[in-house]
Amino acid sequence: MKPRVSVITIGVDNLKESLHFYRDGLGFPTNGIVGEEFDHGAVAFFDLQLGLKLAIWNRKDIAHETKVDVHSPSPTEFTLGHNVNSKAEVDMVMDKAKNAGALITDPAHDTFWGGYSGHFQDPDGHLWEIVWNPEWDEVE
C-alpha cells in the first residue's frame, strides 16, 4: 500500500457545534454541512492543505457505516499535529482555540527537544498539538 492519506475523519457528538468550533472559531475553510438529505450522511469537510481534508461526522453515523459500536473513547488515542513557523504563532493559535471554546490541556511551553508546543481539546475531546519545530522547514 502506498501511503496516501487524503481525509482525516473525526467523530463528533454535535455536528453543528463542531462546525462552529472549526469554521468560526479556528477559521478552517469549509462549505458547511453537506449530505443532510441522506440517512447517516451529514458531514462537514475542511480544507487543511493541498490534498488533505479534515472531516467531522457524527459518531453514531460512523458507527452505522463501519458496523462498530460506539464506546467511550480516550482522548489519548491520537493527536492531530498543527505545525507553525514560530513560538509567537503557537501562542496565537492556542489563544484562538481557547477563545473558540477549546480546553487547554497543556499551555504552550519550551519542549525538552528544543521546540515549543501546547495542546488543547476540541469540543469532542480530540487532542490537538500546536507546535513549532526549529528543525523543520517553514510551514506554508
> For the segment 94-116, what is each residue's pLDDT rounded down to a tens digit?
999 999 999 999 999 999 999 99
- Summarised one tens digit per residue, pLDDT across range 15-60 is 999 999 999 999 999 999 999 999 999 999 999 988 899 999 999 9
Reported pTM: 0.87
Q: Check if the beta carbon of residue 104 is closer than 8 Å to that of residue 118.
A: yes
CA dist 31 to 13, 34, 43, 52, Å?
20, 8, 10, 15
Domains, the chain, in order of start with CATH, read: 7-66 (3.10.180.10), 79-132 (3.10.180.10)
Residue identified by cell 519545530 is 133
Are 30 and 24 in contact, with CB atoms under 8 Å apart?
A: no
Residue 86: the pLDDT is: 96
What pLDDT score was predicted for residue 5?
85
